[in-house]
Amino acid sequence: MNITERSEVRRLPKRGSHDEAIIHRILDAGFIAHIGFCVDGQPFVIPTLYGRSENALFVHGSAASRMLRQLDKGIPACVTVTIVDGLVLARSAFHHSMNYRSVVAFGTARKIEDAAKKTEALRVVSEHLIAGRWDDVREPNEKELKGTTVLEFTIEEASAKVRTGPPVDDEEDYGLPVWAGVLPLMMTPGEVVPDEQLHPEAELAGYVRDYGKRL
């Protein structure tokens, strides 16, 4: 990946990184990407699911999607992924913060036309969200593929930014009788809710039952 001024971490640069392994690790841990782009001077930021393969992100949606139609024109885009790990509670209001992992990536997208490559990209997205599911379900048919647009977003350059650890207060505030520390936040799966029309022979898959081990 390239490194230019647009991907340079300027605010607290010690928390930033251009390490590809770190960037990939954060992208693989996330679910939702926010894609920013501009059309006729009007900026848009759209949330979407994604999957990653090497330095490419796959996104999909309806063939009528304005975002996908615009991105397919090759306009510059910015993709951000953020994972919040905790609230950092300081002794002063000013020094409150969050522990987080984030990626900001720049690049352009292209539509995947080949049916086999499109199906593979959809498999990557599915496996990113819940590994093992793709092999259990019916694959998209020709009609469904035609009604779905899949884009491959090539990451030209990117940066990661991570904050960990306790609050950092002003020295004179450490004597204040105020509780300070980190309140961890994490996404955990709840109890599964079977579909009312579930086939009587359908069994709960292990990848659903044990989903929490992925997180």
* Sequence-ordered list of residues with C-beta below 8 angstroms from that of 12, at least 6 positions apart, any chain: 161
Q: Rounded to 5 degrees, what are φ and ψ at 27?
A: -60, -40
* pLDDT score, position 90: 98
- Model confidence pLDDT, tens digit, residues 127-177: 999 999 999 999 999 999 999 999 999 999 999 999 999 999 999 999 999
* Sequence-ordered list of residues with C-beta below 8 angstroms from that of 107, at least 6 positions apart, any chain: 76, 77, 79, 153, 154, 155, 156, 157
For residue 90, give the CATH number of its domain. 2.30.110.10
Residue percentage of the chain with pLDDT more than 70: 93
Domain assignment present for 53: yes
Domain assignment present for 59: yes
Which whole number is the average pLDDT over 177-205? Answer: 95
Q: How many domains does the chain have?
A: 1
Domain assignment present for 211: no
Closest CA to 56 of 36, 79, 86, 32: 79
Domain assignment present for 81: yes
Domain membership of residue 102 as a residue range: 5-167
Burial classification of residue 123, based on how many CB atoms lie within 10 Å of its CB (0-12 exposed, 13-18 middle, 19 or more buried)? middle
Burial classification of residue 107, based on how many CB atoms lie within 10 Å of its CB (0-12 exposed, 13-18 middle, 19 or more buried)? buried
Domain assignment present for 11: yes
Rg, the chain, Cα only: 21
What's the whole-model pTM score? 0.90
Return mean pLDDT, the chain: 92
